[in-house]
């Protein structure tokens, strides 16, 4: 079963490699932001989730800077998770799903280990109207994050580099959270997780603050 999934994933990866180049630069017509974009498979048939990141061109190494996350998610996904630190425990996690009126619910979480992540106030998301939409096959959202690029892990600080690649991770579950309208809901465990190196250097945006101010007003 796992081997079948593995070979299927390899075949699908080869098929989609040309269509979805790693760290493609994406100029978003809805928000005006420039993102770097990565597509992650969760099903052997080629279904996957797109993860896009935008940051300010003024972001400095070893500081906390704001970021914008955009995700494009197929409608059959129960919840989709992003790990800013590239592993499950002790870093900012974003869990996203759709509520009862198909609205996007964003939940900021932190896991103390490989156990259900709990609500985390150290990272805060603000959903934009622009860049948040859906159709018969996908939903997507765009949100500002404050607190996703630096955090305290144990006794040391972790910082995401604004000028290179950062290891991110995702997790996928076909099952929905039990209280679908509550960001603090219990969530079922994932079926699939994976890692990639996300390029932040080409995600740099001039005039980031003004663009974000316009998008949140
Ligand atoms: C009820 C919720 C969750 C439970 C019970 C859970 C449990 C686990 C367990 C037991 C593993 C180890 C699997 C193995 O070693 O084969 C694991 C791995 C992993 N999980 Fe979760 N998880 C949950 C939610 C999440 C969320 C929300 C994310 C991301 C946003 C996530 C990301 C990962 C990643 C990336 C791994 C790979 C190992 C690592 O890098 O730490 N998990 N999870
Ligand atoms: C459906 O919406 C997604 C997310 O916005 C988009 O990527 C995709 O191109 C859309 N599909 C069609 C057929 O418009």
- For 60-108, the pLDDT digits (tens) are 999 999 999 999 999 999 999 999 999 999 999 999 999 999 999 999 9
* Closest residue by CA, ligand 2 atom 5: 140
* Ligand located closest to 137 CA: 2
Dihedral Cα 125, 80, 190, 92, nearest 10 deg: -20
137: three-class secondary structure by DSSP: coil
Range of the domain at 177: 2-216
Pairing of strands 93-98, 165-173: unpaired
For residue range 10-62, what is the model confidence (pLDDT) as tens digits? 555 555 544 578 999 999 999 999 999 999 999 999 999 999 999 999 999 99
Q: CB atoms < 10 A from the CB of 82, how many?
A: 22
For residue 115, pLDDT over 50 is answered with yes
Q: Is 193 in the pocket of ligand 1 (CB under 6 A)?
A: yes
What CATH number corresponds to the domain at position 198?
Answer: 2.60.40.1210
pTM for the model stands at 0.92
* Ligand located closest to 20 CA: 2
* Ligand located closest to 74 CA: 2
Interval between CA 12 and ligand 2 midpoint (Å): 20
For residue range 174-189, what is the model confidence (pLDDT) as tens digits? 999 999 999 999 999 9
13 compared with 161, residue with greater pLDDT? 161
Within 13 Å of residue 144, how many CA atoms lie on the same side as its CB?
Answer: 19
For residue 1, pLDDT over 50 is answered with no
Contact 40, 168 (CB under 8 A): no
In this prediction, what percent of the chain has a pLDDT beyond 90? Answer: 89
Q: How many domains does the chain have?
A: 1
- The encoded tokens of residue 206 equal 């001039």
pLDDT at res. 140: 98
CA–CA dist 42, 169 (Å, integer) = 12
pLDDT at res. 5: 57
For a mutational test of ligand 1's pocket, the pick from 171, 179, 185, i.e. the residue with the most ligand atoms closer than 8 A to its C-beta, is 171
């Amino acid at each position: 079963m796992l081997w079948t999934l593995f070979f299927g994933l390899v075949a699908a990866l080869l098929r989609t490699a040309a269509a979805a180049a790693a760290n493609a630069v994406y100029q978003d017509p809805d928000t005006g932001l420039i993102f770097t974009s990565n597509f992650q498979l969760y099903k052997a048939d080629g279904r996957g989730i797109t993860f896009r990141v935008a940051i300010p061109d003024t972001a400095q190494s070893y500081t906390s800077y704001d970021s914008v996350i955009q995700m494009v998610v197929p409608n059959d996904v129960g919840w989709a998770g992003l790990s800013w630190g590239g592993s499950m425990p002790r870093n900012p996690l974003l869990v996203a799903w759709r509520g009862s009126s198909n609205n996007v619910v964003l939940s900021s979480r932190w896991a103390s280990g490989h156990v259900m992540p709990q609500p985390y106030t150290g990272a805060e998301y603000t959903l934009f109207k622009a860049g948040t939409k859906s159709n018969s096959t996908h939903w997507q959202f765009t949100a500002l994050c404050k607190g996703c690029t630096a955090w305290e892990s144990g006794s040391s600080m972790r910082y995401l580099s604004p000028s290179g690649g950062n290891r991110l991770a995702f997790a996928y579950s076909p099952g929905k959270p039990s209280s679908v309208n509550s960001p603090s809901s219990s969530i079922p465990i994932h079926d699939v997780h994976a890692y990639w190196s996300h390029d932040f250097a080409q995600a740099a945006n001039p005039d980031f603050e003004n663009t974000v101010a316009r998008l949140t007003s």
